[in-house]
Every structure is written in structure tokens, then in C-alpha cells.
Amino acid sequence: MTWIKICGTTSLEDALLSVEAGADALGFIFAESPRRIEPERAREIIMELPARIEKVGVFVDPALDYVRKVAQLTGITRIQLYGDEQPGLLRAVEKNLPLRPITRAIGAGAHLRETLVALNGSGAMDSILLDSGSAAQRGGTGKVFDWKTAKEAIGQSGLNVRWIIAGGLKPENVGEAIRLFKPWGVDVVSGVESSPGKKDPGKLGKFVAAARAAAEEI
């Protein structure tokens, strides 16, 4: 089964809609973004969610103390780092928050091969999320990256991690992404929204259904 994460959660209503649609994980963004949420509000939402749902905290170039504070306050169960974090920070987060797995998110741009090579052997993370973001806008761009080139880079990387595909996914193309990459998971934001930070129930249902159908084919 392909792990499905609905990111950019900003309200309890949207969180419950995502759960009802069949999501495995919800993402809460604690960095500059139209979908940013304050830790106190995230805590209120997370308290209402089923235990089986993974709660992912998304950070961009954070201080270790901030990650630790947010994790302890909110109850997030996974940490996603999406910036220029060095391996030392990943190891420090792993040491200080040992029960929360780490996803390293990177932009699948022109230097993807070099980035993956640099990550080989860095440890700490259990998964890598490939997105179409950049330094100016880390995620939520609604754009698809070069899947063919990225697939080749993954194959050449030698990395033994779980792969998560993001970037411009929507109900109409998530099945194609799953059939091509055969990833551990997929991550969506703008593809299931009616506006930034507001989920669309119809798109949520169609996205999860399309992802599940494709996963059964591989």
C-alpha cells in the first residue's frame, strides 16, 4: 500500500476531511508559507486525530531547539526537514527526538544527482521526499518536476531509503507517478485544495482513490 500524506493542514475541518478520504498522514507546516500553522493550533488539531494517522511537522532550516519545542508541544510523530540542513542537524534531531522518524525533502532540480550523492551515508533519515520546490518556494508550487531524470537519479544514488514523490501531484496524475516510481509514499498540497490552505473534499477523495487504484497495479 502506498503511504499518502496530505500536507498543509490548517484547520480541524480539513484534517478530518483528509482522514475521511483515507489519508495515512497529515502535514503541518511550521515555516514561512501561506499554509503555515502555529504550534498551539496544530496541537489542538492533532489531539483530535486518530492514533493511526501520522502527524508530520514540516520545517525549513530550523534551529534544533525549535524543532524539539514544537515536537514536544504538538505531538507530531514524524519530522520533515525541507531546507539546506546539514547532516549534523539531521543527526542532532535523531538524537534528541529518537522516536520520530525523519524525512529529508529536496528539490528535484538540475543538481539532483549531486544532492543524492552527498546524502549517501549521511544516515539519520528514513525517507527522502522529492519535490519541485526551490530556495524561493520550498513546496506547494503545483509544478511537476522531470520524472524521467529523477527516476534515473534515484536508481544511481545507491540510497537505501523510502522514497516519497511530491510536486504538482493531483488526482489526474498521481496514478502515473506511482506506476513510474513505485514509491513508498506520495505527498500532495495544492492538488487537493480549493485555495491555499483550504482543502477540497472532492479532490481529496479522487486523489486517494486514484493513488490506491494505482498502488494495486504495481
Single out the catalytic residue among 7, 14, 24, 187.
7
Residue 98 predicted with pLDDT over 80: yes
Q: What pLDDT sits at residue 132?
A: 86
Q: What pLDDT sits at residue 120?
A: 78
Phi, psi of 188, rounded to the nearest 5 degrees: -135, 145
Cα separation, 19 vs 27, in Å, equals 12
Residue 178 predicted with pLDDT over 90: yes
- pTM for the full predicted model: 0.94
Question: Could you tell me the pLDDT band of residue 115, with boundaries at 50, 70 and 90?
Answer: confident
Q: What pLDDT sits at residue 162?
A: 97
Domain ranges of the chain: 3-217
Cα separation, 61 vs 217, in Å, equals 38
Phi, psi of 102, rounded to the nearest 5 degrees: -115, 130
Single out the catalytic residue among 24, 84, 126, 131.
131
Q: Dump the DSSP string for 82-94.
A: -SS--HHHHHHHH
126 catalytic, yes or no?
no
What is the dotted CATH code of the domain comprising 3-217?
Answer: 3.20.20.70
At 107, which helix (H) or strand (E)? Answer: strand 102-107
pLDDT (tens digit per residue) in 122-163:
778 999 999 986 555 555 567 899 999 999 999 999 899 999
